[in-house]
Amino acid sequence: MNAPAPLLEARGLRKSFGSLVVTDSVDLVLEEGARHALIGPNGAGKTTLVNLLAGSLAPDAGALRLDGHDVTRFDAARRARAGVARTFQINQLFERLPVFDNVALAVAERNAAARSMWRALGSRPRIVRRTNELLDAFGLADVAGEPLGQLPYGRQRLVEIAIAIAIEPRVLLLDEPAAGVPSGETQVILDVVDGLDARIAVLIIEHDMDVVFRFAREITVLVDGRVYARGTPAQIAAHDGVNEVYLGARSPVLSDG
């Protein structure tokens, strides 16, 4: 009996901007339920790789398969409909709209109702119900009516993750979910990610090594657009080369890992 195909499989992804190669023959595999972190020094090509996975960029070479199906030429919208959701290093939300409306728009898009959102939400009970479920799950029900831009940044990131989950993804790509978030609120984001459906494959880009080692079951290290190392948190913590090129002298996080 053949083993099931990986949920998301990138093979030989390559991307250049002019003469600058930013993604150089990268392979990456996410199984169902993966909790995978992507780390590397600034300029390593991490966000470019996520853009290639999400469909925001088209690769110059290589292939991407989702649940065994070739999605290499799918754009971001088509890839999202196929089940790949992502957040951004800098959030891309409607700051003047209430939190509820931000999430409701994503729910409507998932239900192919976004074009008719001008109609009263009262006539869309399924959208209202699902939006309220998400707000409850993410601890945002108490701020549903507030303009999103007035929330603390950590709660804005939670709204962004709620929006990504609203499209019911199979793969969730989180670009620095803890960036700019006060340390006291980082655990809330980790708790939310931990509470996601165990079948969703999650990939995070993150510079905060405490977050990485608390979240990941597997880590990929990029350096100069190439995969430099891959392994469990314990293997990466013990990898002398990773410490030298990126992590520096052993920190308490690495020593404990």
Domain extents in the chain: 8-90+172-191+199-256
- Return phi, psi of residue 150, to 5°: -90, -5
Residue type for position 213: F
Two tokens, residue 152: 């603390």
Q: What is the average per-residue pLDDT within 159-167?
A: 87
Q: Is the pLDDT of residue 203 over 60?
A: yes
Instruction: Name the average pLDDT for the chain.
Output: 85
Q: What is the CATH number of domain 8-90+172-191+199-256?
A: 3.40.50.300
Output 3 or 128, whichever has higher pLDDT.
128
Q: Give the number of other CB atoms < 10 A from CB of residue 214.
A: 16
Nearest to 237 by CA among 224, 223, 248, 222: 248
- Secondary structure (H, E, C), the chain: CCCCCCCEEEEEEEEEECCEEEEEEEEEEECCCCEEEEECCCCCCHHHHHHHHHCCCCCCEEEEEECCEECCCCCHHHHHHHCEEECCCCCCCCCCCEHHHHHHHHHHHHCCCHHHCCCCHHHCHHHHHHHHHHHHHCCCHHHCCCEHHHCCHHHHHHHHHHHHHHCCCCEEEEECCCCCCCHHHHHHHHHHHHCCCCCCEEEEECCCHHHHHHHCCEEEEEECCEEEEEECHHHHHCCHHHHHHHHCCCCHHHHHC
Instruction: Report whether pLDDT(34) > 90.
Output: yes
* Of 43, 39, 48, 47, nearest in space to 243 by CA: 39
Confidence of residue 89 (pLDDT cuts 50, 70, 90): low
Model confidence at 43: pLDDT above 90? no
Query: Strands 61-66 and 226-231, how do they pair?
Result: unpaired
Q: How confident is the model at residue 254 (pLDDT cuts 50, 70, 90)?
A: very low
| Residues 214, 212: Cα–Cα separation, whole Å | 5
pTM of the model: 0.83
pLDDT of residue 250: 42
Q: Per mean pLDDT, which range of 43-47, 68-72, 229-233, 244-248 is the poorest?
A: 244-248
Q: What is the 3-state secondary structure (H, E, C) of 52-73?
A: HHHCCCCCCEEEEEECCEECCC
How far is Cα 62 from Cα 14, in angstroms, rounded to an integer? 6
